Amino acid sequence: MKSPVIIDLRSDTVTRPSPAMLDAMFSATVGDDVFEEDPTVHELEKRSAALFGMEAGLFVASGTMANQISVKLLTRPQDEVICDKSSHIYYYEAGGVFSNSGISIRFIEGKRGIISSEQIEENLNPPENIHLPLSRLVAIENTSNKGGGSYYTYKNLESISRFSRKSGLSLHLDGARIFNALTETGDTTKSIGKLFDTVSFCLSKGLGAPVGSMIISTKENILHAKRIRKAFGGAMRQAGYLAAAGIYALDNNISRLKQDHLRASKIASLLKKCTYVADLMPVETNIIVFSLKPRLKVDTFLQHLKKFNIKAVPFGKQTVRMVTHLDITDNMLNDIETALLKF
C-alpha cells in the first residue's frame, strides 16, 4: 500500500517551514544586515547568545560555515585541531579546514564519536618540539552524527573543558544538534556555554528552519568571526526573513524534540524485529543507524522502502541512516512498520 505522502527519513534538514513559521518570516522587519540594520537578525543573534549565556552571536548560512568560521577564528595556519575521526568538520566539509585555515587534524578514535579528556591529553603535541604542529584547538561534536546521534555527559564535557583551558587549547562545540543532546541529558544551555570558546548550532535541522546556523562566543571573537564571514562571502543583506524563522524555531521547536526521539526509538524497536538487520546502534536521540546482513544490499533495501514512499540514506557500505524530525508523524510510523516488516 502506498502512503500518499513522502516519508523522508534521510535527514532532519528536509523539513519545510510550517505555516506559522512562514507567517513569522513574511511579517519580519528587515534591513541591510551588512550595514548592521536588520533588527530581526540582531534579535536572533542576541537571543542565541543569551540562551547559552554568551556575549554575542552571528547568523551564518549553514552549519558548515559556522564550523569553518569557528575553526579559522581559533587557529593559525600550521596549527592542529584535535577531534574524533568521524567528525563532520573533517568528514563532511569538503576538506574546508585544510584550505580555509591551513591546519592539520589529529584524529582520536572515540566511542561513537565521543572523545575524552584523557584521549586529548595523549594526543597533545609538546609545544617545544618544532617538528610537530602546535595543538591549538579541540572540536567536540554533540550529538555525533556519524556516531548515530550519541551525546556527551556533562561530566565528560566539563573535564574536556577543564583540561583544554589548563593546556591553552581553545574549545569549539559543533552543536549542530546540541538541543537534541540537551533534551536527553537535561543540562541547560547556559551550563554548556560556560565550557566552550565557540558554540555553533543549526536552525535548519531538528528546529525546522529552512536556512541558517548560529555561532556564539565573546564580543571580541564574534567581531573577528564577522570579518571571516565577510571573506567567505557569507555576509547577507535582508537576512531577517530567514532570522525570523530562526527566532520562531527557538521559541517553538526545542521542546518538541523529545517526540522525535520517541519516534526514533519506536523505529528502532521495529528494526530489532527485522531478521535482515545485522546491527543496530543504540538509538539515543533522533538518528537511527543500522547495518544490513550481507545477503541484503543497501540499494535493494532502499528501493524496497521507496515503494512505500519512504526515503533513507546509505551511511556506509552495508549501513543505512534514518533521522526523525518535525515532519515525521505518528501516522507515518504505521507505514514505516508495514514497510520494514514486509520484507
Q: Which residues of this chain interact with ligand PLP, rule CB under 6 A?
A: 62-64, 67, 88, 141, 145, 174, 176, 202, 204, 213
Q: Toward ligand PLP, which CB reaches closer, 213 or 253?
A: 213
Q: Toward ligand PLP, which CB reaches closer, 263 or 321?
A: 321
Residue 137 beta carbon to ligand PLP: minimum distance, rounded to whole angstroms: 15
- How many other CB atoms sit within 10 Å of the CB of residue 247? 22
Which secondary structure element, helix H or strand E, spans residue 114, and what is its range? none
Residue 145 beta carbon to ligand PLP: minimum distance, rounded to whole angstroms: 4
Q: Toward ligand PLP, which CB reaches closer, 143 or 161?
A: 143
Positions of E strands within the chain: 7-8, 56-60, 79-84, 104-108, 134-141, 170-174, 198-202, 213-217, 277-280, 287-292, 310-311, 313-314, 319-323
Q: Strands across the sheet with 287-292, in order? A: 277-280, 287-292, 319-323, 313-314
Which residues, in sequence order, are CB contacts of 205 under 8 Å at separation 6+? 11, 12, 13, 63, 176, 177, 325
Ranked by CB distance to ligand PLP, the top (closest) residue is 63
Residue 260 beta carbon to ligand PLP: minimum distance, rounded to whole angstroms: 14
Residue 89 beta carbon to ligand PLP: minimum distance, rounded to whole angstroms: 7
Secondary structure of residue 175 in the 3-state scheme: coil
Q: Toward ligand PLP, which CB reaches closer, 67 or 221?
A: 67
Q: Which three cell numbers stand for residue 71?
A: 575553526
Residue 105 beta carbon to ligand PLP: minimum distance, rounded to whole angstroms: 15
Question: Parallel, antiparallel, or unpaired for β 319-323 and 313-314?
Answer: antiparallel
Q: Toward ligand PLP, which CB reaches closer, 80 or 174?
A: 174
Residue 213 beta carbon to ligand PLP: minimum distance, rounded to whole angstroms: 6
Question: Parallel, antiparallel, or unpaired for β 198-202 and 213-217?
Answer: antiparallel
Q: Toward ligand PLP, which CB reaches closer, 88 or 226?
A: 88
Q: Toward ligand PLP, which CB reaches closer, 147 or 240?
A: 147
Cα 312 from Cα 188, distance rounded (Å): 32
Closest residue by Cα to residue 143 from 307, 317, 281: 281
Q: Within 13 Å, how many C-alpha atoms sit on residue 128's CB side?
A: 0
Burial 60-96 (b: 16+ CB within 10 A, else e): bbbbbbbbbbbbbbbbeeebbbbbbebbbbbeebeeb
Residue 222 beta carbon to ligand PLP: minimum distance, rounded to whole angstroms: 19
Cα 231 from Cα 233, distance rounded (Å): 5
Q: Toward ligand PLP, which CB reaches closer, 68 or 189?
A: 68
Q: Return the bridge partners of 172, or none.
A: 139, 198
Residue 153 beta carbon to ligand PLP: minimum distance, rounded to whole angstroms: 18
Residue 141 beta carbon to ligand PLP: minimum distance, rounded to whole angstroms: 5
Cα 86 from Cα 14, distance rounded (Å): 22
Q: Toward ligand PLP, which CB reaches closer, 254 or 274?
A: 254
Cα 227 from Cα 89, distance rounded (Å): 21
